[in-house]
Amino acid sequence: MRTQVGIIGAGPAGLMLSHLLHLEGIDSVVLETRSRAYVESRVRAGVLEHDTAQLLADTGVGARMRREGLVHTGLELRFEGVSRRIDLAALTSGRGITVYGQQEVVKDLIAARLAAGGEILFDVTDVELAGIDSDAPVIRFAHEGTIRELNCLVVAGCDGFHGVSRGSIPASARRTVEHTYPFSWLGVLAQAAPSAHELIYAQHERGFALHSMRSPEVTRLYLQVPNGTELSDWPTARIWDELHTRLATNDGFTLKEGPILEQGVTPMRSFVTEPMRYGQLFLAGDAAHIVPPTGAKGLNLAVADVRFLAEALTTWFRQGRGTGLDEYSARCLRRIWRVQHFSSWMTGLLHRPTDADEFSHRLQVAQLEYVTTSTAAATTLAENYVGLPLDWSSRVDTPATPAVPFA
């Protein structure tokens, strides 16, 4: 088999890359270890940044998202029994988020690729990379009982945190920076109407809780739990009790309950591998970096990476100029570190630290008071949450002229 770009992984990064390349007339083949049914039903992210949603719409894969996705122009921060709204749209010149499940994005991208004659091989095994430091890389894999080879000019490693791509770069040619948090998230999907119109991020002395949603009939909820938590320790009644307690307000917020459809525990991690290129292998998405989910950024960062990569590959294939590919890693990493900071800051703002004392509690509340009352502080949260523009780091804001000149 032969193609221009061999893509490993049919998550949001790999599928979006294949779609963007197709729109530029560049061929790719996507290899995926899981089945189509599995990737289309894996419950993960739910929040699309303004520009991620816009990209789906602009490239012809946003029709269902525009119909079924929920556009939010604000979010709630809840602490000390009160709820304060951050008006995302007012603080960011009208930008917002779209709540639309990651598996729905994946379904829409798979459908678009297959309708356009794109090749996605599901259920592959034994994926191995060879010759990535040459101009003729090869991906070896097994499919339907046969060992096969995919010859390509470029390999895109979009195979998530547990994939093979990152480990194919010699250890001497990469470095990782990581941080593990002393807590995890217990996530549940419930057949219950959302209890509020917007997302609620709650700081509570018993730990963080999040109220999110997937549709007018389905709620997505998360609880901060200790690392090593087993689902068996959390019978349904305990989950609801804890959610009621942590999301309670002084004016009597009511959380609607319903049958739990799915549940899981996710560890919290910050992780970056640098650089994101080795020879003709380019890493994108979770294969290169992980952020804690408090900022709702992982999928959006994966999409930003492949936008940069698709643009650089287009210039390379069309004009033979490789400067975009040479700059790919540095360009991605500027955004990744901004998002790492935001995700870690949101995590610290809202979670109960394991060594929590009165002082750390008071600092958290002081910070929440500030973020929900100062326009400057709220704008920082809002512009990061809805997503900074793709070129944000190359723009230098002109300082505003003081209304009254200094004497």
Q: Which residues bind ligand PHB (CB under 6 A)?
A: 45-47, 199, 212, 220, 293-294, 296
Q: Which is nearer to ligand PHB, 52 or 294 (CB)?
A: 294
164, 202, 209, 247: which one contacts ligand RFL (CB under 6 A)?
164
Q: Which does 132 bind (CB under 5 to 8 A by kind): ligand RFL, ligand PHB, none?
A: none
Find which of ligand RFL, ligand PHB, none residue 65 binds, CB within 5 to 8 Å per kind. Answer: none
Residue 28 vs 294, nearer CB to ligand PHB: 294
By beta-carbon distance, which residue lies closest to ligand PHB? 46
Per annotation, catalytic residue among 19, 72, 204, 289: 72
Q: Which of residues 357-396 bind ligand RFL (CB under 6 A)?
A: none
- Residue 44, Cβ neighbours under 10 Å: how many? 18
**Among residues 7, 196, 299, 333, which is the contact residue for ligand RFL, using CB under 6 A?**
299
Measured from the CB atom, the residue of 1 and 265 that comes closer to ligand PHB is 265
Between 157 and 324, CB nearer to ligand RFL: 157
- Catalytic, 72? Answer yes
* Among 100, 181, 278, 385, the one annotated catalytic: 385
Print the binding letters for residues 264-293 with ligand RFL: x by CB under 6 A, - otherwise: --x------------------xx------x
Smallest gap from residue 223 Cβ to ligand PHB (A): 12
Q: Is 8 in the site for ligand RFL (CB under 6 A)?
A: yes
297 is catalytic: yes
Residues that bind ligand RFL (CB under 6 A): 8-14, 31-34, 39, 44-47, 102, 127, 158-160, 162-164, 185, 187, 266, 285-286, 293, 296-300, 302
Could you give the residue numbers annotated as active site?
A: 72, 201, 293, 297, 385
